[in-house]
Amino acid sequence: MVRLNDLLERLPNQHRTALEWFIRHAGTERPWPEPLPDGTFLATRAKGIYKPQWTEYALSIRQTLDGPYPDRDPITRPDGTWVYSYYQESDDPEARDSAFTNRGLIACLRDQVPVGVMRQVSRKPNVRYHILGLALIAGWDGGYFFLEGFTPDGYSAGPGTAAEIETLALAQQIGDAEVEDFSPESIIDGRERIIASIVRRRGQSKFRDKLIELYERRCAISDCDAIEALEAAHIAPYYGPITNHPSNGLLLRADLHTLFDLGLLAINPETMTVLISPKCLNTSYAGLMGKPLRLPADTNFHPSVEALAKHRRWAGF
């Protein structure tokens, strides 16, 4: 866990005082925030992301009702932390760094500088905002900034993939909740869905077959040779046939594929060795740390160094 006070102590007084306003008013509904006594603005009506001229960091973000971007609702965990997915300025993820506001949030991600978060909850004539409090920018992916919120006593899960994974998992759970009553006659239908899920998970047949050939029917990490348990893992997420190139794939045992996709396992592209998340260092997977990756004999089909590096950065290693 990350302690908020440790992060605030590093900041200049003006920046720290502004963020403390969001701490004091966390959990409340308020009208538009007035400037502080020293004249510091806490947000701007012009943009959802406020990056003051006096700092390289973004100070706050706000979500508006009927806004143009596909922001998602916050998710609160039992321990009081929360996650929130906030879309960048600009519809095009590739144009992220062209906007100074987005660059301000990237600076917050880089240096673990908290931001204030507020969401509009009512329209004119009585516009009000729910103040969520402070959050860390935990990561960025596909146009979304993923935020990790602090508990009332000042702790956060910190940077990493958890906020993104939980957001996507919740969307899946909402779909899964729409189930019919149990009926023995529906078991075959259910089993059909399970088999279909396994087939999709293994990867498209040509892509998987090529990786099986290149990796000589063994997991690239564990050397497992149980062919039915081996899956075609995309290094860069699947985005159409172009991402089915063998250099964008690893043949992995199913459980290792899951860890890889969750950002709990990565590959050091410089040494082609395994990296394990601190979250897994007290598990049986810890022994994989530093293990050399099994590579295809044909160097033309070695995994892409660029794709591995990008996955490693996303995982937070």
Give the mean pLDDT of 116-135: 95
Structural domain boundaries in the chain = 2-164, 191-315
pLDDT at 259 over 90: yes
The model's pLDDT over 104-117, given as tens digits with 9 standing for 90+, comes to 999 999 999 999 99
The model's pLDDT over 201-220, given as tens digits with 9 standing for 90+, comes to 555 678 899 999 999 999 99
Predicted pLDDT at 29: 96
Mean model confidence pLDDT for the chain: 88
- Distance between CA atoms of residues 32 and 220, nearest Å: 55
Structure tokens of 82?
């929360």
DSSP annotation of 68 reads S
pTM, two decimals, is: 0.70
Q: Which CATH architecture has domain 2-164?
A: Roll (2.30)
The model's pLDDT over 135-174, given as tens digits with 9 standing for 90+, comes to 999 988 888 999 999 999 999 988 888 778 887 777 666 5
Q: Are strands 82-87 and 75-76 parallel, antiparallel or unpaired?
A: antiparallel
Predicted pLDDT at 219: 97
Q: How far is CA 268 from CA 59, 263, 279, 317, in A?
A: 34, 13, 18, 9
SS3 assignment, position 187: helix
- Distance between CA atoms of residues 258 and 78, nearest Å: 24
